[in-house]
Amino acid sequence: MRILITGAGGMLGQDVRQAVEAAGHDPIGLARAQLDITDSAAVAAAVAGARPDVVVNCGAWTNVDGAEADFEAALAVNGPGAGHVARAAAAAGAWTIHVSSDYVFNGRKFAPYVESDGVDPISAYGNSKLQGELHVAEAAPDSHTIVRSSWLFGAAGKCFPKTILRLAAERDQLNVVSDQVGCPTFTGHLATALVALADAPPRGVLHVAGSGHCSWCAFAQEIVAGAGLACDVRPITTEQYPLPAPRPSYSVLESERAAPGLPSWGEGLREFMAQTTQAAA
């Protein structure tokens, strides 16, 4: 199977490419420098030339706070850009697997969100990701899978665990928000699930995230403990750590469909720590 990966230079995209190779498929990776998904003509030409069976769109604007300051740029990538990929895939007879976010929800349910729950993003980033879902569904109505995931972290890019490891090595104490709860998801696990979905992709929306849930503070405490660092991680409220973009207070994802289950976020963290330790050796 030929699998085209857009955004292949990013944290998730790199892991998807490795997962495609591990599964014995033929990967075609296009990083942002090779393909700007906001350029509809370039996307159409690239997909037609690659002749893929499946397109996994990992291309995204991921700067949550930056989207508040430059919504037009974030929307161009996450909204119409995602639609360009899906439209080109459909024209080439390929299936689209598009990666979306838990931030399409407002976080006020305080129970796990499933695929049929109503969306209501509270940030510019969340709105841009929701627009991407709508564009993908419109561009490839009969040949798309939208995979919502949560709190991605991986060895191949900037992420929360790397930031915590750096700060904990420099400081005796860290204050981390404890009133936002979600499902940390290791990109190595998510990538494997995305490639597995390519074998028989279901139409519509799926929730695929690390099993279990925690707050950012609990996540940070596990990171620091796993690294054996002598840093005290203390809980604070969102109000005590204001950021430009509002975040959902509770964005735990579960599936009411036959979505692939992922290992726990704790297991993902252990694999992440092993990979980063090996890379540093």
Confirm whether 125 is a catalytic residue.
Answer: yes
pLDDT digit string, tens, across residues 75-132: 999 999 999 999 999 999 999 999 999 999 999 998 999 999 999 999 999 999 999 9
Cβ-proximal residues to 66 (8 Å cutoff; 6+ apart), any chain = 74
Q: What is the mean pLDDT of residues 22-33?
A: 97
pLDDT digit string, tens, across residues 168-188: 999 999 999 999 999 999 999
Would you give the distance in Å from CA 256 to the centre of its chain? 20
pLDDT digit string, tens, across residues 189-247: 999 999 999 999 999 999 999 999 999 999 999 999 999 999 999 999 999 999 999 99
The full set of domains in the chain, from first to last, is 2-159+185-212+253-262 (3.40.50.720)
DSSP string, 48-73: HHH--SEEEE------HHHHHH-HHH
The secondary structure of residue 87, as a DSSP letter, is H
Q: Is the pLDDT of residue 281 over 90?
A: no
Q: CA-CA distances (angstroms) from residue 207 to 7, 172, 197, 213? A: 21, 37, 12, 14
The secondary structure of residue 80, as a DSSP letter, is I
Q: CA-CA distances (angstroms) from residue 52 to 9, 91, 116, 173, 242? A: 18, 11, 30, 49, 44
Among the listed residues 141, 161, 120, the one whose alpha carbon sits nearest the alpha carbon of residue 11: 161
> Which is catalytic among the residues 103, 113, 125, 250?
125
What's the length of the chain? 281
- The dihedrals phi and psi of 22, each to the nearest 5 degrees, come to -65, -30
